[in-house]
Amino acid sequence: MIKVENFDLTPLNTFRMKARCACFVEYGSVAELEAMDWDSLPKPIRHIGEGSNLLLTGDFRGTILHSGIKTIKYLDMGLGDVPVMVGSGVHWDDFVEQVCGYGLWGAENLSLIPGETGAAAVQNIGAYGVEIGDIISGVTCYDLHARKRVKFSREECGYGYRDSFFKQTGGRFIVTGVLIRLSRIPRMRLEYKGLKEIFADKAPAGPMDVRRAVIDIRRSKLPDPAELGSAGSFFKNPVVSAADFARIIDISKRDFGEDVHIPHFVQPDGCIKVPAAWMIERCGLKGAVQGGAAVYEKQPLVIVNASGSASADDVLALEQRVIDAVRDRFGVTLSPEVEHLG
């Protein structure tokens, strides 16, 4: 176990916000969590991964926990399904690269998403038509209230769009391991625009082909956290009622002409998901600058630390500018996907 007081969190958030916490604890096993003297730690207690979905808005007066559980156990290397128990501290993309290399299907569409496996199960990360909830069989946790180990089945995890049961419980459950079910039998998900075009003439020979295609597409659109600070998509894509969507169509025709095309995705319940990026761009905010922060030119859903020294106030002001502009034009209130912590 590593315990450091007055710890610098700057390298532990991909936005590269400058912030410190009163205490930082990295544990290497569930046994270390069980042996922890919880009462002596500064409160509140929060868990982070690689800080790739966080905006640190200031110093944190409590304790930041971090997982150092980095084991990957293949439970059955049979001919069909392959269950794998992945430690919460495993960098998610290292795992995806490894299983694609073994020819196992299921995780390839989720290539190159930053962050750790524990956080991925909390966030229900998703990309190119797949969510991690689709391939999770169960999650093992340490319950900070009851101070004991607990297990959740996939159903109990309550997965939804970038949502899970864990997000509703105020940090009560520390994810320690994620049981992922992969397959030797191809389970291709290539319907998403971009992938569909790449594999239109020739099916992928294996999951590594899909991984490479996903990486190429992502690199062309998204900032590399090693080069440009961000927390990925800053806003959630709003899901609106059919009546609200009809109103958005009217507004768009009035403002952008009768031929305007509004990208949208009809949900199983009849509601409609509208890409926030489209709305932000139509508000003229692509590339908008606020202090050291900016709306990313290649993907307006992303706010970047353009100067390298943007403050949390710059990002918060830009966030509010975007929310106000989209609400004023389309009557839709965007909510941030990025969590604010400070």
The footprint of ligand FAD (CB under 6 A) covers 14, 46-54, 67, 88, 113-116, 118-120, 122-123, 125-127, 162, 171, 174-175, 222-223, 225, 230-232, 339
Q: Which CB, 127 or 280, lies closer to ligand FAD? A: 127
Least spacing, CB of residue 287 vs ligand FAD, in Å: 17
Q: Which CB, 52 or 63, lies closer to ligand FAD? A: 52
Does 184 participate in catalysis according to the annotation?
no
Integer CA distances (angstroms), 149 to 34, 84, 145, in order: 9, 19, 11
Angle at which helices 92-101 and 207-221 pack, to 10 degrees?
A: 140
Q: Which CB, 103 or 171, lies closer to ligand FAD? A: 171
Q: What is the residue type of 34?
A: E
Does 233 participate in catalysis according to the annotation?
yes
Least spacing, CB of residue 324 vs ligand FAD, in Å: 24
The Cα 178–Cα 72 span in angstroms is 10
Least spacing, CB of residue 102 vs ligand FAD, in Å: 22
Judge contact between 320 and 336, C-beta under 8 A.
no
Q: Which of 144, 122, 114, 60 is nearest to 340 (CA)?
A: 60
Least spacing, CB of residue 141 vs ligand FAD, in Å: 7
The Cα 272–Cα 97 span in angstroms is 34
From 50, 108, 116, 337, the catalytic residue: 337
Does 29 participate in catalysis according to the annotation?
no
Contacts of the segment 252-256: beta carbons below 8 A, 24+ positions apart: 252/282, 255/282, 255/329, 256/282
Strand-strand pairing, 130-131 and 136-143: unpaired
From 52, 164, 230, 233, the catalytic residue: 233
Least spacing, CB of residue 302 vs ligand FAD, in Å: 7
Q: Which CB, 222 or 248, lies closer to ligand FAD? A: 222
The number of CA neighbours under 13 Å toward the Cβ of 170 is: 4
Least spacing, CB of residue 82 vs ligand FAD, in Å: 22
Q: Which CB, 113 or 274, lies closer to ligand FAD? A: 113
Measured from each CB, the residue nearest to ligand FAD is 49
The Cα 281–Cα 263 span in angstroms is 12
Q: Where does residue 16 fall: left (phi above 0), alpha (psi -120 to 50 degrees), or beta otherwise? A: left
Phi, psi of 249 (to 5 degrees): -65, -45
Q: Which CB, 48 or 135, lies closer to ligand FAD? A: 48
The Cα 326–Cα 332 span in angstroms is 6
Judge contact between 110 and 119, C-beta under 8 A.
no
From 154, 162, 212, 321, the catalytic residue: 162
Q: Which CB, 125 or 262, lies closer to ligand FAD? A: 125
Least spacing, CB of residue 105 vs ligand FAD, in Å: 19
The Cα 26–Cα 190 span in angstroms is 38
Active-site annotation, residues: 162, 233, 337
